[in-house]
C-alpha cells in the first residue's frame, strides 16, 4: 500500500504522461508497477543530499514525461534505471517482471555509467557506449539524458572532484549529443548547468549582468515586437511571440570567440515567432513582413526550412536592426517545427506495436552512427583526436552542398572537397585526385561554402595522401584515411622485415637487436616498424642499407681496431686542433666575473678531462700546485670538485676572440652519395655565412668520414649548424669534434 505522499506523486506522474506522451493510450498499470517496484528496491537508500534515493528515478521519469516525452515504456524504464546497478535485483529479475524491452533499455542505460579517475579514457568509452546503445534502441540514450540532467540539477551535493569531472563530461559529451538529437532545451540546460560548476565566477558574472538589465531588456523587446504583432494580426495570422536572452554558456562562448566583454556584445537578444495553423510558405511571408518593419542583416539570413539540419531542425533565422540600432536575432517557424526544435528526436519518433517508425532525418542520423561505430575501435585514434572528431561532427555548424546530379550532402562547416568525396562513398574519397566547385577546379583543401555544386574527379591509380589528414574535418574522412595508412603500414612493415632478414642472411651479416636498433637510430629511424615500413616501400632504399651494412658493419656496429701509429696520428691531430682553437683568442685573456680584471699573469692550464676551447662555457678550479684548472661547465669532474671545496671554484670567461670568431671542429659520418659533401659545405658557408678553415675527408666503401674546422661566432650558431647537417639525407651523425 502506497503512502498518501507517494500516491500523490504517482498520480502526478501519470497525469503528466497522459498529457504529453506520444502514445494514444498510456499504460497506467505498467507505470504503477514500475513505480512500486523501484520504490521498494530503493527503500533503504539515500542520495548524497540525504533525500530518499527513489526521488532520483522519479524525477528522471518526470523529466522524460515533461521535456522529452516518448512512451510509457520509456517512463517505466526511467523509474527502474538504477535498480540493477544499485540494488540486489538483476536484469533477469526485470525481464521476468517487465519483459525484455524495458529490461534492455535499463541494461543499456546502465552501461553508460558515471565518471572514472581515468577521465580521458572514460570519455572514449562513454562515446562508444552511447553510439552502441543508439543502434539497439534510441530510448536508451534518452533515459540517460534525463538521468544526467537530474544529476546536474543536484550536483552541489557531490564532492568537488567528482562534481568537476561530471560537469566536464557533460559539456564535452552529453551536450554535443543532445545538440545532434535536436534537443535544444536539454542541450542548453546541460551547458549552463555544467558551466556553472566549472567556472562559477564567470557564470555568476554573466547571470548578474543579464539580471541587472532584465527590465531594460524586457522594455526594449516589448517595444520591438509591437509593430510585428500588429502586422501579423492584420494579416490574419495566429501566432505566439517569445522573447529571451541568449543562454549563459552561449554568451560566454561569444565573449571568447569575439574577444569582447558581455557589455560589448551586440546580439544578446532573441525573438521567436511561432505560427499556428500555418505552412512553410507562411514563414517566408512573415519574414518579408518583418523585413519591411526593420532592416535585415543579409549575411545573417539562414533558411533551414528549405534545407533542414540533419537532426530535422527547421526554421528561418534572420537578424534585424531595431530603430535604436540594436541587433535582434529572430527565428520564424510553424508550431510543428517548433516542437521538433524543442524536443528534437522525441518529436520525430513514434512507437506502435513495438515497431519503431522514423523519418529520413533519423535514418540518416542512424546511418552516420553506424558508420562511426565501424571506425571506432579499429582506428588507432589518440583519446584527444577521437573526442575532437566527435565534437566537430556533433556540434559544428553545417553547410549544404550538392553533387552534379543535385543530391544534397550535409557537412560540418570547414569541410573540403575530400570530405565531400568520402561523404559520397569511401572509394570515391580514396580515388579523389581533384574537384570542381561550381565548375571551377579548386585545391583539395579548399573550405566549401553552402549552396556549392561539387564535382569530384577520380583516378583508379590514386590513393590517399598523407597531407589530407591535416585538412579534412569529418570523422568519416579522417577514419577512412587513417585506416588506409594503418593497413598500408602493416603490409609494408611485414614485407620490409621479410626482405631485410633474407638479405642479411644472404650476406651473412649477424645483427642482434641492440646492434640493429643502434644502426637504425644513426639512419634517423625512430623505431623498427618505421624502418621496416620504409624499406618495404622502397627496394632501392633496402639495397642502399644492405650495402652500408656490408661495407661498414664492423666499423660502425663494433669498436674500431686502431693500430698504435694511427692512434698517435689521431691524438696529434686533435692536439693541433685544440691548440689552434685556443690561439684564436687574443693573448688568451681570461677574466673573473667579479673583478673584471685581466688575470693573464696567473698560472692556469686546461683540464684534459674535457678539453675546453673558446666558445665553451667554462669555470675555474684553484689547484694547490698547478694554478687554475679550466673546465667546461658541463664537465662531470667539476661537479665532484665543487662538492670537494666550493670555495676554490672561480667564475671564468674567455677573453675577446680575434675578429669575434672562435675555432671549432665538427666530425661528420655519412653515406658517400653524389654531391653530399658539396651540400654540406654549401650549407655551412652560404646558408650560415661561416668560414671553413680546413677540411679532412676520407671514404671507405659507400661511407665517408670527415672533420671540418670552422670559424664560428658562438655555440648557438654551432648547434644550429649541427642540427641542420644531422637533418640532411644520408648523414649518420654530425657532432662536435672535441666531444
**What residues act catalytically?**
85-86
Q: What is the Cα–Cα distance from 128 to 706, expressed in whole angstroms?
A: 57
Under a CB-based contact definition with an 8 Å cutoff, are residues 444 and 435 in contact? yes
Q: What angle do CA 127, 132, 135 make, to 5 degrees?
A: 130
Quote the cell numbers at residue 703. 661511407
Quote the cell numbers at residue 364. 540518416
647 burial via Cβ count (<10 Å: 0-12, 13-18, 19+):
exposed
Under a CB-based contact definition with an 8 Å cutoff, are residues 272 and 333 in contact? yes
259 burial via Cβ count (<10 Å: 0-12, 13-18, 19+):
exposed
359: alpha, beta or left? (left if phi > 0; alpha if psi -120 to 50)? beta
Quote the cell numbers at residue 551. 661495407
117: alpha, beta or left? (left if phi > 0; alpha if psi -120 to 50)? alpha
Beta-carbon count within 10 A of 211 CB: 12
Under a CB-based contact definition with an 8 Å cutoff, are residues 72 and 17 in contact? yes
Q: Which residue has the cell 526594449?
A: 220
Q: Of 149, 147, 8, 31, whose CA–CA distance to 86 is shortest?
A: 147
625 burial via Cβ count (<10 Å: 0-12, 13-18, 19+):
exposed
CA 329 to chain centroid, in Å, comes to: 31
Residue length of the chain: 739
Q: Of 186, 467, 569, 232, whose CA–CA distance to 341 is shortest?
A: 186
Give the bridge partners for 241, in sequence order. Answer: 273
Q: What is the Cα–Cα distance from 201 to 199, expressed in whole angstroms?
A: 6
DSSP state of 117: S
Give the bridge partners for 271, in sequence order. Answer: 243, 330
Under a CB-based contact definition with an 8 Å cutoff, are residues 417 and 428 in contact? no
Quote the cell numbers at residue 314. 527547421
**HSE-up of 123 (CA within 13 Å, CB side)?**
24
**HSE-up of 490 (CA within 13 Å, CB side)?**
6
Q: Of 137, 171, 187, whose CA–CA distance to 343 is shortest?
A: 187
What's the per-residue H, E or C state across 317-382? EEEEECCCCCEEEEEEEEHHHHHHHHHCHHHHCEEECCEEECCHHHHHHHHHHHHHHHHECCECCC
Q: What is the Cα–Cα distance from 616 to 461, expressed in whole angstroms?
A: 56
Backbone torsions φ then ψ of 466, nearest 5 degrees: -60, -40
Backbone torsions φ then ψ of 475, nearest 5 degrees: -60, -40
Q: What is the Cα–Cα distance from 126 to 111, expressed in whole angstroms?
A: 9
Q: What is the Cα–Cα distance from 302 to 116, expressed in whole angstroms?
A: 41
Dihedral angle sign, alpha carbons of residues 157, 161, 162, 163: positive
Q: Of 393, 465, 463, 392, whose CA–CA distance to 431 is shortest?
A: 463
Helix, strand, coil share (%) of the chain residues, nearest 5? 55, 20, 25
Quote the cell numbers at residue 390. 566527435
Q: What is the Cα–Cα distance from 631 to 312, expressed in whole angstroms?
A: 75
Amino acid at each position: 500500500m502506497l503512502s498518501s505522499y507517494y500516491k500523490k506523486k504517482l498520480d502526478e506522474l501519470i497525469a503528466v504522461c497522459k498529457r504529453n506522451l506520444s502514445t494514444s493510450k498510456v499504460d497506467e498499470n505498467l507505470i504503477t508497477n514500475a513505480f512500486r517496484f523501484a520504490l521498494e528496491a530503493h527503500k533503504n537508500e539515500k542520495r548524497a543530499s540525504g533525500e530518499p534515493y527513489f526521488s532520483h528515478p522519479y524525477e528522471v521519469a518526470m523529466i522524460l514525461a515533461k521535456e522529452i516525452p516518448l512512451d510509457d515504456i520509456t517512463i517505466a524504464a526511467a523509474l527502474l534505471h538504477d535498480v540493477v546497478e544499485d540494488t540486489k535485483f538483476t536484469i533477469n529479475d526485470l525481464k521476468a517482471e517487465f519483459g525484455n524491452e524495458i529490461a534492455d533499455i535499463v541494461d543499456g542505460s546502465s552501461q553508460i555509467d558515471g565518471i572514472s579517475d581515468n577521465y580521458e579514457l572514460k570519455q572514449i568509452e562513454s562515446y562508444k557506449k552511447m553510439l552502441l546503445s543508439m543502434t539497439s534502441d534510441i530510448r536508451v540514450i534518452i533515459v540517460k539524458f534525463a538521468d544526467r540532467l537530474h544529476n546536474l540539477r543536484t550536483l552541489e551535493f557531490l564532492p568537488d572532484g567528482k562534481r568537476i569531472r561530471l560537469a566536464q563530461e557533460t559539456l564535452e559529451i552529453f551536450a554535443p549529443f543532445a545538440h545532434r538529437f535536436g534537443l535544444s532545451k536539454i542541450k542548453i540546460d546541460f551547458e549552463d548547468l555544467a558551466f556553472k560548476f566549472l567556472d562559477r565566477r564567470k557564470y555568476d558574472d554573466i547571470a548578474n549582468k543579464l539580471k541587472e538589465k532584465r527590465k531594460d531588456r524586457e522594455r526594449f523587446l516589448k517595444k520591438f515586437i509591437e509593430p510585428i504583432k500588429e502586422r501579423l494580426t492584420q494579416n490574419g495570422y495566429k501566432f505566439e511571440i517569445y522573447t529571451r536572452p541568449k543562454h549563459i554558456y552561449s554568451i560566454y562562448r561569444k565573449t571568447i570567440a569575439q574577444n569582447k566583454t558581455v557589455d560589448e556584445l551586440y546580439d544578446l537578444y532573441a525573438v521567436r515567432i511561432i505560427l499556428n495553423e500555418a505552412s512553410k510558405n507562411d514563414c517566408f511571408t512573415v519574414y518579408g513582413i518583418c523585413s519591411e518593419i526593420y532592416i535585415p542583416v543579409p549575411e545573417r539570413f539562414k533558411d533551414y526550412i528549405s534545407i533542414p539540419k540533419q537532426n530535422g531542425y527547421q526554421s528561418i533565422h534572420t537578424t534585424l536592426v531595431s530603430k535604436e540600432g540594436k541587433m535582434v536575432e529572430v527565428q520564424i517557424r510553424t508550431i510543428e517545427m517548433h516542437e521538433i526544435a524543442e524536443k528534437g528526436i522525441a518529436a520525430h519518433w513514434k512507437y506502435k506495436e513495438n515497431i519503431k517508425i522514423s523519418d529520413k532525418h533519423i535514418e540518416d542520423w542512424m546511418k552516420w552512427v553506424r558508420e562511426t561505430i565501424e571506425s571506432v575501435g579499429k582506428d588507432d585514434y589518440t583519446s584527444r583526436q577521437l573526442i575532437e572528431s566527435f565534437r566537430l561532427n556533433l556540434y559544428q555548424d553545417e553547410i549544404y552542398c550538392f553533387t552534379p546530379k543535385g543530391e544534397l550532402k550535409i557537412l560540418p562547416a570547414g569541410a573540403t572537397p575530400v570530405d565531400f568525396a568520402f561523404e559520397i562513398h569511401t572509394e570515391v574519397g580514396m580515388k579523389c585526385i581533384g574537384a570542381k566547385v561550381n565548375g571551377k577546379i579548386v585545391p583539395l583543401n579548399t573550405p566549401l561554402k553552402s549552396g556549392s555544386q561539387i564535382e569530384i574527379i577520380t583516378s583508379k591509380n590514386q590513393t590517399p595522401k598523407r597531407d589530407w589528414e591535416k585538412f579534412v574535418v569529418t570523422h568519416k574522412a579522417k577514419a577512412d584515411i587513417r585506416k588506409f595508412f594503418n593497413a598500408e603500414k602493416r603490409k609494408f612493415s611485414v614485407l620490409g622485415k621479410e626482405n631485410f632478414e633474407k638479405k642479411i642472411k644472404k650476406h651473412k651479416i649477424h645483427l642482434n637487436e641492440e646492434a640493429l636498433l643502434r644502426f637504425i637510430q644513426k639512419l634517423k629511424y625512430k623505431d623498427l616498424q618505421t624502418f621496416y615500413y620504409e624499406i618495404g616501400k622502397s627496394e632501392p632504399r633496402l639495397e642502399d642499407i644492405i650495402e652500408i651494412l656490408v661495407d661498414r658493419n664492423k666499423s660502425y656496429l663494433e669498436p674500431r681496431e686502431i693500430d698504435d701509429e694511427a692512434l698517435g696520428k689521431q691524438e696529434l691531430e686533435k692536439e693541433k686542433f685544440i691548440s689552434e682553437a685556443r690561439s684564436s683568442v687574443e693573448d688568451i685573456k681570461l677574466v673573473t666575473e667579479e673583478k673584471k680584471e685581466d688575470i693573464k699573469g696567473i698560472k692556469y692550464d686546461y683540464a684534459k678531462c674535457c678539453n675546453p676551447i673558446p666558445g665553451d662555457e667554462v669555470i675555474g678550479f684553484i689547484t694547490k700546485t698547478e694554478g687554475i684548472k679550466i673546465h667546461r661547465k658541463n664537465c662531470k669532474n667539476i661537479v665532484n670538485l665543487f662538492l670537494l671545496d666550493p670555495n676554490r671554484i672561480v667564475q671564468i670567461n674567455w677573453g675577446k676572440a680575434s675578429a669575434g670568431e672562435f675555432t671549432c671542429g665538427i666530425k661528420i659520418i655519412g653515406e658517400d652519395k653524389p654531391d653530399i659533401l658539396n651540400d654540406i659545405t654549401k650549407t655551412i658557408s652560404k646558408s650560415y655565412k661561416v668560414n671553413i678553415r680546413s677540411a679532412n675527408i676520407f671514404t671507405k666503401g659507400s661511407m665517408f668520414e670527415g672533420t671540418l674546422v670552422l670559424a664560428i661566432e658562438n655555440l648557438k650558431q654551432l648547434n644550429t649548424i649541427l642540427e641542420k647537417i644531422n637533418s640532411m639525407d644520408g648523414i649518420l651523425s654530425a657532432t662536435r669534434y672535441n666531444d
